[in-house]
Structure 1
Amino acid sequence: MKSLHRQRGMSLWGVVFLTALVLFTGLLLVKMSGVYYDHQTLNKTIRNALAGQTATGFSESEFFDRVAKNMQINGIRIDLKKELTYDKRQSPPVVVLNYEKREHLFLNVDVVMSFHQEYEL
């Protein structure tokens, strides 16, 4: 009979720990998903702007204007002049997107997400 008594299930502390773990994972998912969605939107915007540029020849100012306009429409806030660079010294010229986003979780805990993407012309 004693072996059946020990197999009743989780204790109260086990349920509390599992609930806290699920809530923390949900909080991470909610806070980080917006930043990753913005990055995917920005990635698609840059790819579309580059696809339009390669057919007619690359115009750096037109490319940056097109990306900035799409970022404003989609509500993405990063500093393009600092985070998006055009390197024409490499063999195929490369546009590099390199930035970090910091998202506040709770109290004094933040999560830092860094993104680095290179696009060849």
Structure 2
Amino acid sequence: MKSLNKQRGMSVYTVAFLILIVSFFATLMVKLGPVYMDQWYLNGMLQSMADESGTAEMSISDLRSSLSKRMLVNNVEFDAKQGLKLNTKSNPKTMVLDYSKQVHIMFNVDALVKFHKEYSLLP
């Protein structure tokens, strides 16, 4: 049998370091989670709008209005005037979602998250 002096567990410093690492990643998850959840909901809303027939004939203001109503129901924070554009030069027409969001993490550390996706509109 080994002596009890050689059978030690983690030191106090190791436990403190592990707690620090776990709390850092938990903070990131709590701060960045809502941003990615909003993007996930927004992606679903825009994909369902793009799959509807007749959206290619809609103007950009009609598309933004339809998106605003859906965002109100799902409690999503997004500025559709800045982040949603309509590309009429491509065939078929596409909605372009392009925006970034800055999130305060802690002290003077911020995270900048960028999203870009294109949705083809059905005629």
Q: Pick the TM interval, shorter chain.
A: 0.7 to 0.9
Between 1:4-13 and 1:79-88, the stretch displaced more is 4-13
Higher helix share: 1
* 2:92 aligned with 1:86: no
Verify the 8 A CA contact 1:50 1:63 in the aligned structure 2. no
Q: List structure 1 runs of 4+ shifted beyond 4 angstroms.
A: 1-4
3-state SS of paired residue (1:111): strand
The aligned runs of 1:1-121 (5 Å cut-off) are 5-52=5-52, 54-55=53-54, 57-60=56-59, 61-121=61-121
Once residues 4 and 85 of structure 2 are traced to their aligned partners in structure 1, the CA distance between those partners, rounded to angstroms, is 66
In structure 1, stretches of 5+ residues that fail to align are none
Pair 56,112 (structure 1): closer, same or farther in 2 beyond 3 Å: closer
The two structures, once aligned, show a CA RMSD in angstroms of: 2.1
Amino acid at match of 2:75: G
% identical equivalent positions: 37
Once residues 55 and 98 of structure 2 are traced to their aligned partners in structure 1, the CA distance between those partners, rounded to angstroms, is 26
The structural deviation recorded for 1:32 is: 0.9
In structure 2, stretches of 5+ residues that fail to align are none
In the TM superposition, what whole-angstrom CA distance separates every residue of 1:86-111 from its partner, at most 9, and x where no partner exists?
A: 01111222111011111111111111
Verify the 8 A CA contact 2:49 2:55 in the aligned structure 1. no
- How many residue pairs get aligned? The number is 120
